Structures are given as structure tokens and as C-alpha cells.
């Protein structure tokens, strides 16, 4: 932490900050410029006074943070890539898994059929929502535990592990009984009660970036999960909210290399939500792989025009087959495989 | 709903849409332009096929929504202002209540002292967090139920009703035992499990806008609460996330008249979070009142530089007194009182 | 400037930075933390190596800027408010001028009529565009020099000074012959060729914030004008672009107190563009005055439904009269007058 | 255009709109829903009353646009891809050109050396700024016409065509004498005076998207150029401004397939500005190619730490060689070549 004093702050104010710095257990390192004094805080504080408190002191212009706040999710103290097991392979390694399936689990037959179909075309895992976060209370909210049971049947039929969303902290143990991967949706990325619960679980977590959350926020939310003892976290970029109106979200492809650089956790991309229109999902999936994504999660539905949710962004089977073919080629071009 | 066909869509595709429209129980109204056909859907659907499904049909360019999706929160079917009782007066009426207090409940003594102090200076209610949503798992998370008990003691000492945040759906009944108003924080605005729970409660709700959420999203989240039977909802504008870096958030003052126009619910402004720096809180509070806000919620701390959280944006007592004086004058200038 | 070295950067890399710092004429002040070294740069550089160059050196994590880059527009070296003369009073003083008029100058009769009408209702200056920046090449582009002549006639008829936009650097001298205030539109805020030209002029400039520009960008654009010798610059907040769709722009009312704090230049607000719908212009105008704006610029048209541009956000005469009455009251509530 | 009347608008107000619609030369198509009336406007208007005017009429809730406003830049009336000649190949075809060079032309020797180096490594054209738009008036502004002369010498030495920015409308003919491609920078994307001038030129234009501009805005700016008779326009995605702070801009990779779908013009990507840090430029370049970009423009400097501008995002020669190798592989994976 570096405290920048105001232009022309009095010596008395400077000394007050220095006194506080020492009281907090840091060693102050003072640099006197021509117009301004800056005070570096060396060491670790025991007492917990933080950036904001210093920023509030009289005579202080601003406080600059030097080190990153995510100790467990960051690479500084954990340089090697984390590999998360999924269906016999490891997410974060050479192979790029594709998680595919419908937005919502609509019926037992539907999910079993789709599971077998996407398995056949090369999917690594099955996605499908039993609990659906919907902007409107009047939209379809999912089939709940019954949907989870159908997912489990689909796993048996297809051999694909299950990725499904959990929204209610109280239901984490129940959902974890059925799921191989617990998905935290974008709208719950800073639902800290929920993060704590999945942190206590030992089931792998797919953590989606919130639509107004910075990369730093996402890594801090991963930190919540990691700090509760669950080491198997996958980060997911799914688009952020901007002023652009021709697409549902803006896919922040920049976030992929940045997260790979700053964190050891695997990074999954969700091209379906990232752009919101099925006709553009393939190029966006390819862009993610080319940028270094460790995996994809894609919405697939046999008849998108009849889907209970997200039909507009779902690939049909022919589209998914095309995606798998194209992903394989781009993956190889960047030294990986799909 | 209006379905706009693509430029030059074939008659066969147009008829497929028309057939679907009829199957869904609407009456189709077809307008043939020179290059494009548009199909209006008249009536209410029983079967639930929605915008997105039509948008997915072949030959469709886009689907335009005509009516607003918030039936309960909107003014179309509820033109009169909703008045929410608070401490003997009514939020949404002529008087502008000011809810004041610290970000976090730090100790029994602290919260009682602040309650009495802000009461003395004219506050209508006391705010204070016992459960704190924090970006970092290492930041102070609040004192939990003990904090709620201290809040209850502060109410007794000061006579001020309590506004406090609930984050965990399972704790809604417990928090509601202590609180007069349940606050839903910005990060939980689309935590639908939590919205459903406070909807089932009969305690007034203060619903904060999420930092990437549109006004429409906020009204839809209010709709969740209202549709579960809780009619006492106050909307809260607290700043949205933009590219601007000199302030913590961007206060969307535009949202105030827009929400007053579209919804019958009272609108509260939170100038503390909206700008994030105490030296600017007063002008922003005044701007909110001038724009038609029905109330304010403000962070106040006797020694902001020692606050456990949000010190940088908290007013001290002298600042709060100044705010109350200034708010009174601006309120009168716009035909209200504080 | 502060150079933050990477976690565990070698001594050799640290010394390379130190050597460069000295070569550039700064005195290096080194602080050694437990994991990281930071190097403060004391003094002024003669050679011009900048932030980005240091950030590019091996072993450097980031470079933090300490002082603000706007020497002439900032308050550090110019603490007193700049007062800009306009129609006998001074913008930036106690009185809040209201600049009013149509978006476009549509005809000689129109502009003279409006000028007299808004003068009658208390306007301080007349706005009106002769050169119109339009998103579409097919929209009305303004009457050009003829429009300027009509504006000059309107000034004679009404006594109101003229505020009008200049878009073409080559036309600055010509427009300045007719105008009392040269407006730089939002889309040209970083048109540096144009900024240089109005900087060489001695006519007052109203500089509008670009829709994706930070407050810092705006102050840097003012710096362009000031550094060419034109001291009479008024900053204008007119809304920024965000994800919100119910309004045309998002009025960044926060920017008003922030700019007043950081700069000595007067701040004008444009509620018409800031929200984009006439029914909300008055509350937004009042919010600006309450937040400390030094003036307003408002679109007024006798029959908005027939306006050649921006009709949707223009007040009619009755609306403008209402605005003037309301502004006067709020201005007094904050210790000023309209 | 579709006019949506307010919920419960009176018959008299509906008839007023219908009368206006007819007066404007459209045929009105009225659809009466249960709560609302909508009026479709069939045909083309002669008189020029526009969306905004209808939106301003009493009783109108909103006006929805059906057709896209870019007739020349859009695909509706121009379905085939436009191929823009560049150095013997055609931008928009199978081959993906890479335009490379420094941000600024720093000296005669520098630009000749870089030109030959990037040519050797496979670049198709040379970029380099002689006129530099800089946020600060104190930053290096470029060498002006002398820089253009050096660029011309570099063309002779290397055989590479020249891409360089023009900022001043008055200098378009002069810059066009030296340049093969005129670049319009992001800050000038809505500098309509400049767009008109390059539209009158017959030199190819590279039009960069502004940082707060939608895809629609960009296509409308292209429309300005096309409507003045210059058909050789290349669109350039270079990142937009969002709340994310770990990168300089947010690369809107979504825009690539969307623009290819809506427009026939070739789309170039600028990964250097899009992310702003050289260590991430290669993955972003690859993501652009995978998403369907028709070309790349990349900043290359032999010693980025000494660059006069944009060093932080410039590749050195080794980096550029790596980029060329990687781009070639990804291009082939998507059926193209580099």
C-alpha cells in the first residue's frame, strides 16, 4: 500500500499518517517529491486497518494498492496451473472439454436424448438447468429436484458428467448429490452466502463472471470458494454488459489471457450467453479457444424454436456438430486438442 | 408483441409464423410493407410461447415488445403512488425520510450512540449492517445475529426503526424479527431465491439496484417480491458501474424520474454508494431530492477513518448535520419537506 | 510517478530501472517491501520518457501516477474559480445562467421568435445549431453560414448572446465572427485539431464531455484549449453512454462536484441530452443545480413534434417557463440565484 | 417504422397520428390490441418527418424502427462481400493481411528499418502515425508532413503500402498523396467533417470504431464515406470502453461476426489497442482471426521501452514473428490463409 499525500499537505498531517502506519504494524517509507509526499507501507499489518481508512485521513489524496488481493486464486504464490478433473481428463490441460446441453431441463426424455446426442458428437459433459434464475417471475423457473433426477438418469444413459446450477445456499448439499459440477450463475457471482456453501462442498465449481463484475471481482469470488477449502474451481467468462445493443452481452475475450496470466485456475468460455444469437455462437467459441480458453460451455437444443428458455442462443444438433469440427481444428492450431 | 420478418422472407415462412401465432392463441395482424412484413400479436397467450421462440423461427428478423413486463410494479394497472409506512410517516408522500447510520454495526455502544445522534439531527430511521457482503473473504463480514440484537437495542434507545440487510434466504424470518425494513443489497438484486423469501415476508423491503442492472431489471425484481404478496417495496438507486474512474459508481439520477413515471413504488437514493467519497455526498443527496427522490439512505460514522467498512464514503456528524440542513431547503424548493 | 516492480524481480532488473530513472533526470526513491520493491520518481523529467515506457521495462509490474496531468485546468496551481463573462454576468459566480434555444436553427423567423421568447422567460443566452453533427448522413445537417447570420439577427432582436457549435477547424474564425460562445460537441471532444483551433481563438468555449470520456479526458481536452492561450473555457456534462436503455444517455451528476473540486473552470449541465426525453428534463435540470452546476443549457422549441432535430428532448415554451420557475427556487435553496 | 400508442390513448390522439402519417406520404396500417393500438407506416416518406417527431406526438408511447438505417453499408441491398485491393491482394477475401508498424513515425531511419523488418516477416502493409491524436497536449504529437515523407521512403524501400491517420479535414488531400490507406482514428469516428472529406477522396479508408460507439454508429459513419462516393472502406474493431480495469479497452470480438453479417465491408481487428498490453496481443489477434476478421493491424516496435507512444502495447520483432506464425495456423484452421 502507498499513501499519496495531498499537494502541499502539512508536516503535521504527514506525521499523523506515519504514526498510524506504525501503530498498525507497518514500517513507513517516506519519499518527498517536489510537491507531494508519498508514504510506502512495508510489511504486513496485524490490526486490519485498510486502504479505505488511510484514504479517509486528513491530508491524504489517495491510496494506491501494490499487491493483488487474491492470494489463493492468484499465481504469485501458486505458479503452476490447477488441473480440475472432469470425466477422466483434466480441465486446464492440453485437451479442451466442451460442456453441452440445453439451457433448461425440460423433461426426462428431452435431457436423456440430448445427453446421448451431444455425447455422440464429442461433448465431455452435459449442462442443463433444474433451477433457473429468470429476470421475470412469470418465466419458467425449472423443474427443481425432479430435473436433477432426470439429469442423473441422463448421466447414466450417456456416461457424461453433469454441470448444473445451484441458486439456493440451503440446497447445495442436495444439488451436489446429483451434480458433478456446481455452476454459480452470473447473477450470483457475488452471492457470498452461496459462495461460502459451495466452498464447503467438495464438488467442483464452475464460477461464472457477473455481468458488471471486473476480472478482479471474479478472482475475489473464487477466493471465497478456495478459502473455504474447495480447490476445484473453474472460472467462466460469459460476457459483460455494455452499451452495445446488437448483441445480448459483450464477450470479454481479453479476460481469457488476463485470467490465465493472473490465476492458476482453468478458464471456461460460454459463447452462447456471450453473444446471445445462435448464428454467431461458433465464431465466438472459436475466438475463445484461439485466445487460450481451457474449455467451452455451449447451449444445445434439438428444436431451439420450442425451447423453454434461451432458444435464441441455442445451437441445434447440426450447429453443434459444426462447432465440434471447427473447435477441433482451431484447438490444434494453438497446440491443443478438443 | 410484434414479429418483424426478414427483408424478402418468403410467403411460406410468413405463414409458418402466422400458424404458430394462432396456435398460441393470439390473433395475427399482418402489415405488408414494401420490403418487409410485420405481424402484430393481438390478445394474451395461454400457452406461454415467448418472444425468444418467435425470434428463433426461420425468416424472422426480430421481435419487438410493446407492453412492459412488470404488471404489478408498473403504473399501467396501478396508477396511484404506493405509500410505504415508516416510523409514523409515509414514504412516497410529501415528507422525505432520511435513513442514516454506519455501514456496519461495529459494537453495541457504537450503534446506540449513532442512533441517538442521527435521531437528534432529524433522521427518520437507522441503517446498519449485521451481515455484510464484502468483495474479499478477508474483509470484516459483520457481527451477525449479535449485531441485530444491538440494532434492536438502538431502536429502543432512539425510537428509530431499523433498516438492515439480509443476504441469506434461510435467515429472512430471523432478520425480520429484528428489522423494520429488510434491505436487499445491490449484489443480491437478482438473487431470486432471496427475493422470493422476502416476498413471502410481510416486512417492508428496500430493494437496491444492482450495479449492472437496468431500470427494467430492477422493476422485474420488485415484481418478484410483489408477486409473492409483499406490497411494501421501496426501490433504491445507488449508482451503476461505468468506465468513469474518479468516482466509485455513477449515480444514475435519471433513474429517479423514470422510475417515478413507470412505477408507483417509492424511490430512495443512496448518495453514499452512488459516489463513494464523503466530500461529494451532500451535493449528490441534494441532486436526488431535486430530481424527485422520495427518501435518502446515507452512511454516517462518528470517526470515518476508523470505520470497519466504507469509511471513505461516510459522513461524520458535522457532515450529516450539514446534509440535513441542506436537504430541508432543497426539499422545500421542490414542494416537499425533510 | 511510482514504479512497482514485479513480485520477486531480480536486483539486476531493479538496477536497470534505477539507471533509467537517473538518466531521465529524476531522483529515484527506493522502498523495499517484503515481496516487492517500489521506486518513486522525484522531480521533473526533462527528456520526456513517460509512464508507458517504464511500464514496458522488464521486471516492472505497473506504474502508478501520483499527480494529475492537467496543470492548467486543475486547481493545484490555480485554486481560485475562473469566472467566464457572459451577457454582463459571470459564469461560475452566484448567478446560474440558462442557455436556451432549439437544437437546430431552422429558419430566420424561427430563431428570432425563439430568442425573444426565451429571453422573455429569463434565458441568459441563446443556443442553436447552424452546423449539426448527425449520426446519419441523411439527417438534416444544418443551414451553415446562413444559419449563423440568422443567429446574429436573433441576437440583435433579443439581446441574447449566441452559443453555437463549430465542427470544422477551418471554420473556427468564421463561426467566431458570429458567435459569442463556440460549442465543441460531445463527438468532437477529442478532435484535437479542432481544440487547437478554438484554443487559438479568443472566443469563449463551451466544451461538452464525450459520451465515453472520463472526467480526466475532459479536463485534458480543456488543457488543449487553455494551453493555446484561450482561458475562457466552460466544461459541460451532457450524459455518458451506459447499458441503461430507458434513457438516451446517463447523466453523470457525480461529475459536477468532482469537476468543481478538481478544476477551477465553470461547469454547465445539459439536461436535454443527458436524459433525452422532454418529460424528464426539468427534474434533471434541478438535480444539476442542486449538485452545484454553474449553469444550464436546454433545448427549447415552440412545437417539438415539428422540430428538425432533437424534438423528443425539447421543452416547449410552457415547459421552459416551468423550468425557469423551478430552477430559481432550487438555486436559492443552494445559496445561488437563477 | 411502427408507432406504439400509449395504453388507453384516446381515439382522437390515434387519429391525429394517422393523419400525420398520411400527410407524410405513408400508408398507415392500424392494429388494435386489447390495451394498445399500434400503427405501422408502410412505404417511403417524401417529407422527411422522422422517428423522433412521431415519438413526440401526444399519446405516443414509443416508435420502433424496423429497417436498418445504413442502406449503402448494409447487406440488404448489397449482399456480396466488398473486396478492397491492398498490395496486390484483396481485403475481404481468403487471405488475411497483417498491417504492422510503430504507433508513431519517430525518424526516417526508424520507419525504414521497421518497414523492411515487418515485410521480411510477412506483413502486407506498413502502419505508422505522422499525425498523432494524444489525450494530453504535452505528449508527442507526431512529425507531420515530414513523417509522411519518411513513410513514402519506407514504402519505396520495403514495397509495403502505407496506412496512416489523417486528423485534419483540410489535410486529407495532402495525406492522400503519401498514403495508400487513410486511417480515421477512434476519436474521430464521428467527426463528420472529416468523414465527408475522406468520402470525397478516392483513397481507401480504414475506419476505426470509437470507444463508445455502437456497431450501428460505426456503420452509419461508413455510410457517410460511402454516400460521398468512396466505396473502399474497411471497418476496424479496436476495443470499446467498459468498466474493466485490467485491460486498456475491451475487445468486442462479438462485433466481428455481427459486422460481417450486417455489412459487406471487410472487417479489420486491432488487437494492440483492443487490450493494451503486449503480452496479450497474440491471443487477441488469434481470437479475431478465429472469429472471422478479414485482417489485422498491429503495433510493432524494435524497442518498445523506448517508443515515443504506445510502447506498452507494441510487439517487438520476436513477438511479431511469433504472431505471424500463430496467425498463419489459426487462419488455416478457419479456412483462410495469412
Mean pLDDT by 10 residues, chain A (338 residues): 88 92 87 83 68 86 84 91 92 97 96 98 97 88 95 98 97 97 97 97 97 96 96 98 96 98 98 96 98 98 89 95 98 96
* Neighbouring C-beta atoms of residue B65, cutoff 10 Å: 12
Give pLDDT, residue B174: 97
Q: How confident is the model at residue C148 (pLDDT cuts 50, 70, 90)?
A: very high
Within a domain: residue B78? no
What is the distance in angstroms between the Cα of A74 and the nearest Cα belonging to chain C? 12
> Residue D109: how many CA atoms within 13 Å on its side-chain side?
1
CB-based contact B283 C242, cutoff 8 Å: no
Helix (H, G, I), strand (E, B) or coil at A21: helix
Average pLDDT on B25-47 reads 80
What is the distance in angstroms between the Cα of A77 and the nearest Cα belonging to chain C? 10
Residues in chain C: 338
pLDDT above 70 for C280: yes
Q: B145-170 burial, b if ≥16 CB within 10 A, otherwise e?
A: eebbebbeebbeebebbbbbbbbbbe
What is the distance in angstroms between the Cα of C243 and the nearest Cα belonging to chain B? 7
CB-based contact A4 C66, cutoff 8 Å: yes
Please name the residues between 309 and 338 in chain D that touch chain A, using a CB distance below 8 Å.
Answer: 326, 329-330, 332-334
Does residue C140 sit at the D interface (CB-CB below 8 Å)?
A: yes
Give pLDDT, residue C54: 87
pLDDT in tens, D317-327: 999 999 999 99
CB-based contact C36 A67, cutoff 8 Å: yes
Say if CB B306 and CB B110 are below 8 A apart.
no
CB-based contact D29 B31, cutoff 8 Å: yes
CB-based contact A283 D252, cutoff 8 Å: no
C123 and C243 co-located in one domain: yes
pLDDT in tens, C237-268: 999 999 999 999 999 999 999 999 999 999 99
Bridge partners, residue D98, by sequence: D296
C101 and C59 co-located in one domain: no
Give pLDDT, residue A300: 97
What is the distance in angstroms between the Cα of D225 and the nearest Cα belonging to chain C? 9
At C298, give phi and psi (nearest 5°): -135, 140
Distance CA D256, CA D248 (A): 19
pLDDT in tens, B188-209: 999 999 999 999 999 999 999 9
By C-alpha distance, which of A128, A124, A99 is closest to A113?
A128
Contacts of C43 in chain A (CB under 8 A): 33-34
Average pLDDT on C25-44 reads 83
What is the distance in angstroms between the Cα of D177 and the nearest Cα belonging to chain C? 20
Does residue B287 sit at the C interface (CB-CB below 8 Å)?
A: yes
Q: What is the 3-state secondary structure (H, E, C) of chain D?
A: CEEEECCCCCHHHHHHHHHHHHHCCCEEEEEECCCCEEEEEECCCCCCCCHHHHHHCCCEEEEECCCCCCCCCECCCCCCCCCEEECCEEECCCECCEEEECCECCCHHHHHHHHHHHHHCCCCEEECECCCCCCCCCCCCCCCHHHHHHHHHHHHHHCCCEEEECCCHHHHHHHHHHCCEEEECHHHCCCHHHHHHHHHCCCEEEEECCCCCCHHHHHHHHHHHHHCCCCCEEEEECCECCCCCCCCCECECCHHHHHHHHECCCEEECHHHHHCCHHHHHHHHHHHHHHCCCEEEEEECCCHHHCCCCHHHCECHHHHHHHHHHHHHHHHHCCCEC
D116 and D251 co-located in one domain: yes
Give pLDDT, residue B45: 63
Please name the residues between 208 and 237 in chain C that touch chain D, using a CB distance below 8 Å.
Answer: 210-213, 217, 220, 223-224, 227
Q: What is the 3-state secondary structure (H, E, C) of C232-261?
A: CEEEEECCECCCCCCCCCECECCHHHHHHH
Please name the residue that has the C-alpha cell 445559496: C335
pLDDT above 90 for D115: yes
Does residue C36 sit at the A interface (CB-CB below 8 Å)?
A: yes
CB-based contact A192 B134, cutoff 8 Å: yes
How confident is the prediction for chain C on average, in pLDDT?
93
B42 and B160 co-located in one domain: no
Domain boundary pick from B17, B35, B64: B64
Within a domain: residue A108? yes
pLDDT in tens, D215-227: 999 999 999 999 9
CA-based nearest residue in chain A for residue C39: A31
| Chain B partners (3+ C-beta pairs within 8 A) | A, C, D
Q: Cell numbers for C9, please give them.
A: 524481480
B105 and B211 co-located in one domain: yes
At B179, give phi and psi (nearest 5°): -90, 150
Within a domain: residue A71? no
Q: How confident is the model at residue B12 (pLDDT cuts 50, 70, 90)?
A: very high
Domain boundary pick from D64, D94, D117: D64
pLDDT above 70 for D46: no
Give pLDDT, residue D147: 97
Percent of chain C with pLDDT over 90: 75
Say if CB B281 and CB B313 are below 8 A apart.
yes
Average pLDDT on B130-142 reads 89
What angle is formed at CA C46 by the lines to CA C40 and CA C52, rounded to 5 degrees?
A: 55
Average pLDDT on B291-312 reads 93
Q: With 0-12 CB in 10 A as exposed, 13-18 as middle and 19+ as buried, what is B335?
A: exposed
pLDDT above 60 for B48: no
- Pairing label, strands C233-237, C204-208: parallel
pLDDT above 80 for D45: no
Does residue D242 sit at the B interface (CB-CB below 8 Å)?
A: yes
| Chain C partners (3+ C-beta pairs within 8 A) | A, B, D
Distance CA D6, CA D21 (A): 17
Which residue range(s) make up the domain with D12?
Answer: 2-64
D53 and D161 co-located in one domain: no
pLDDT in tens, C107-132: 999 999 999 999 999 999 999 999 99
CA-based nearest residue in chain B for residue A132: B192
C47 and C187 co-located in one domain: no
CB-based contact B246 C258, cutoff 8 Å: yes
Does residue D279 sit at the A interface (CB-CB below 8 Å)?
A: yes
Helix (H, G, I), strand (E, B) or coil at B269: strand
Rg (CA), chain C: 23
Domain boundary pick from D32, D64, D96: D64
For testing contact with chain C, the best of B279, B290, B293 (most C CBs within 10 A): B290
CB-based contact A220 B48, cutoff 8 Å: no
Within a domain: residue A166? yes
Contacts of A221 (CB under 8 A, 6+ apart): A184, A189, A190, A195, A207, A213
> Residue C78: how many CA atoms within 13 Å on its side-chain side?
16
Within a domain: residue C74? no
CB-based contact C330 B330, cutoff 8 Å: yes
Average pLDDT on C175-179 reads 97
A49 and A149 co-located in one domain: no
Q: A73-87 burial, b if ≥16 CB within 10 A, otherwise e?
A: bbbbeeeebbebebb
Please name the residue that has the C-alpha cell 450467453: A273
Domain of A102, CATH number, reads 3.20.20.70
Contacts of B185 (CB under 8 A, 6+ apart): B133, B165, B167, B208
For testing contact with chain B, the best of C73, C329, C333 (most B CBs within 10 A): C333
Within a domain: residue C69? no
By C-alpha distance, which of D120, D93, D92, D271 is closest to A290?
D271
Within a domain: residue B321? yes
Give pLDDT, residue C123: 97
Average pLDDT on C60-73 reads 86
What is the distance in angstroms between the Cα of A45 and the nearest Cα belonging to chain D? 26
Rg (CA), chain D: 23
Domain of D55, CATH number, reads 3.30.70.1140
Helix (H, G, I), strand (E, B) or coil at C122: coil
pLDDT above 90 for B145: yes
Q: Looking at per-residue confidence, does B89 or C242 come out higher?
A: C242
DSSP one-letter code for C166? -
pLDDT above 80 for D43: no
DSSP one-letter code for B255? H
Please name the residue that has the C-alpha cell 460476457: A239
Within a domain: residue C78? no
Q: Cell numbers for C279, please give them.
A: 418529460
Dihedral sign from CA coordinates of B89, B92, B98, B103? positive
Q: Cell numbers for C130, please give them.
A: 447552424
Does residue C261 sit at the A interface (CB-CB below 8 Å)?
A: no
Q: How far is CA C235 from the centre of its chain?
A: 3
DSSP one-letter code for A57? S
D153 and D294 co-located in one domain: yes
Distance CA A43, CA A26 (A): 5
D48 and D150 co-located in one domain: no
What is the distance in angstroms between the Cα of A63 and the nearest Cα belonging to chain C? 10
pLDDT in tens, D248-284: 999 999 999 999 999 999 999 999 999 999 999 999 9
pLDDT above 90 for D135: no
What angle is formed at CA A235 by the lines to CA A230 and CA A237, rounded to 5 degrees?
A: 160
Give me the number of domains chain B comprises: 2
| Chain A partners (3+ C-beta pairs within 8 A) | B, C, D
pLDDT above 60 for C231: yes
Contacts of C275 in chain B (CB under 8 A): 254, 257-258
D109 and D171 co-located in one domain: yes
pLDDT in tens, C96-110: 999 999 999 999 999
CA-based nearest residue in chain A for residue C250: A243
What is the distance in angstroms between the Cα of C120 and the nearest Cα belonging to chain D? 25
CB-based contact D33 B44, cutoff 8 Å: no
Contacts of C250 in chain B (CB under 8 A): 240, 242, 250, 252, 254
pLDDT in tens, C180-216: 999 999 999 999 999 999 999 999 999 999 999 999 9
pLDDT above 90 for C271: yes
Q: Is ipTM strictly over 0.85?
A: yes
Dihedral sign from CA coordinates of C252, C256, C257, C261? positive
Least confident of A178-182, B12-16, C137-141, D289-293: C137-141
Give pLDDT, residue D228: 95
C60 and C91 co-located in one domain: no
For testing contact with chain C, the best of A8, A78, A243 (most C CBs within 10 A): A243
Amino acid at each position: 500500500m502507498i499513501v499519496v499525500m495531498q499537494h502541499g499537505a502539512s508536516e503535521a498531517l504527514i506525521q499523523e499518517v506515519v504514526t498510524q502506519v506504525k501503530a498498525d504494524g507497518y514500517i513507513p517509507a517516506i519519499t518527498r517529491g517536489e510537491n507531494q509526499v508519498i508514504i510506502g507501507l512495508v510489511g504486513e499489518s496485524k490490526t486490519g486497518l485498510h486502504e479505505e481508512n488511510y484514504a479517509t485521513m486528513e491530508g491524504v489524496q489517495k491510496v494506491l494498492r501494490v499487491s493483488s488481493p487474491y492470494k489463493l486464486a492468484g499465481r504469485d504464490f501458486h505458479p503452476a496451473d490447477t488441473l480440475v478433473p472432469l470425466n477422466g481428463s483434466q480441465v486446464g490441460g492440453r485437451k479442451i472439454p466442451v460442456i453441452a446441453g440445453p439451457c433448461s431441463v425440460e423433461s426426462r426424455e428431452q435431457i436423456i436424448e440430448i445427453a446421448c446426442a451431444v455425447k455422440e458428437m464429442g461433448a465431455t459433459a452435459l449442462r442443463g438447468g433444474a433451477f433457473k434464475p429468470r429476470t421475470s417471475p412469470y418465466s419458467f423457473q425449472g423443474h427443481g429436484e425432479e430435473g436433477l433426477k432426470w439429469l442423473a438418469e441422463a448421466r447414466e444413459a450417456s456416461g457424461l458428467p453433469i454441470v448444473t446450477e445451484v441458486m439456493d445456499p440451503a440446497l447445495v448439499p442436495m444439488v451436489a448429490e446429483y451434480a458433478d459440477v456446481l455452476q454459480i450463475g452470473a447473477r450470483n457471482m457475488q452471492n457470498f452466502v452461496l459462495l461460502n456453501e459451495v466452498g464447503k462442498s467438495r464438488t467442483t465449481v464452475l464460477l461464472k463472471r457477473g455481468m458488471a463484475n471486473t476480472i478482479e471481482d471474479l478472482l475475489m469470488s473464487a477466493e471465497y470458494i478456495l478459502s473455504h477449502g474447495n480447490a476445484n474451481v473453474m472460472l467462466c467468462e460469459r460476457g459483460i454488459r455494455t452499451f452495445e445493443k446488437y448483441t445480448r452481452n459483450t464477450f470479454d475475450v481479453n479476460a481469457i489471457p488476463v485470467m490465465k496470466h493472473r490465476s492458476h485456475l482453468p478458464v471456461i468460455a460460454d459463447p452462447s450467453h456471450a453473444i446471445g444469437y445462435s448464428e454467431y455462437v461458433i465464431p465466438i467459441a472459436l475466438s475463445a479457444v484461439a485466445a487460450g480458453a481451457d474449455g467451452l460451455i455451449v447451449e444445445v437444443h434439438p428444436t431451439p424454436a420450442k425451447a423453454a428458455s434461451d432458444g435464441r442462443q441455442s445451437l441445434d444438433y447440426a450447429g453443434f456438430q459444426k462447432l465440434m469440427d471447427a473447435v477441433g481444428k482451431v484447438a490444434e492450431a494453438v497446440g491443443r486438442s478438443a
